[in-house]
Amino acid sequence: MNLLDDKIADWEKRKSEIKNYYFPELPSKKRIKKIIEKYIYPTIKDKGFKFQKTNLSLVKNTDENILTIHFEPHSNNYKETVSFRLNIKLVSKKYASWAEKKYESDYKKNGFLLDDYHHTLGFWKRKINEDWYRLSIDDNKFITDEITSNLLNLSDIELDKYNALEKVIDEKICFLKELKYLNIFDCNFVLDLAEITNQTKKIKIIIGDLYEYWMNQKEYSDKKQKEIYIELKNRISQK
């Protein structure tokens, strides 16, 4: 058997084990909404989440941050074949307020500390290593239980570190040191937070050392790449 055959066989086995199949008579978006409404939201609403039904999002708004869990339907959903994934965004109000004055880009103005899909997050616990939750393949109670468990954990534990921007800086620098390439976006992100938290001098030294190390590892010949790297170097060099 090849990999495709193995995948199909795995899906068929999982489908045969389904005991809970929620609202298969509904169109895909309405089905996802109904599942959130009945099997996910009631478990987490006491944690401060509100359910925005029109855009299939759970939102938690605190004094410091806005956490949004968006249930994104698959573009190929059809009849009972329904899949979705979770896009998780965390906005720092302090960062957004600062970025509004500094940047023209709407994305940078948003103040994102986190903007990723659930399957890319190390702290999201999954029993099945796939990018999408598939209502037509897996027991629907298994799916909703896994999501609610992760959202409770996300609310109580994992996002505590984002309440202090200094912790975000420390974690992101550790991440940058492990990379084997120059991540311009995250370097600028760390420098932004350093300005907000009055750590610019210390963080510029760290990012500057990483910059020199990376630039010695590879010859960047692309003109546009060079311009971007020069912009970062100029930012590091500014007094």
Given a cut of 90, whether residue 57 has pLDDT beyond it is yes
Dump strand ranges (E) for 80-214: 83-92, 112-117, 133-134
3-state secondary structure of 51: strand
| pLDDT for res 132 | 96
Residues 146-193 pLDDT 10s: 999 999 888 665 666 677 888 889 989 998 988 877 888 899 999 999
CA 11 – CA 6 distance, rounded (Å): 9
Residues 66-125 pLDDT 10s: 999 999 999 999 888 999 999 999 999 999 999 998 888 777 778 999 899 999 988 899
Task: Please report, for the chain, the start and end positions of each structural domain, with discontinuous segments joined by +.
Answer: 3-162, 164-237
Residue range 203-222: mean pLDDT, rounded: 79
CA 133 – CA 157 distance, rounded (Å): 23
Strands 112-117 and 83-92: antiparallel
Predicted TM-score (pTM) of this structure? 0.86
CA 168 – CA 73 distance, rounded (Å): 30
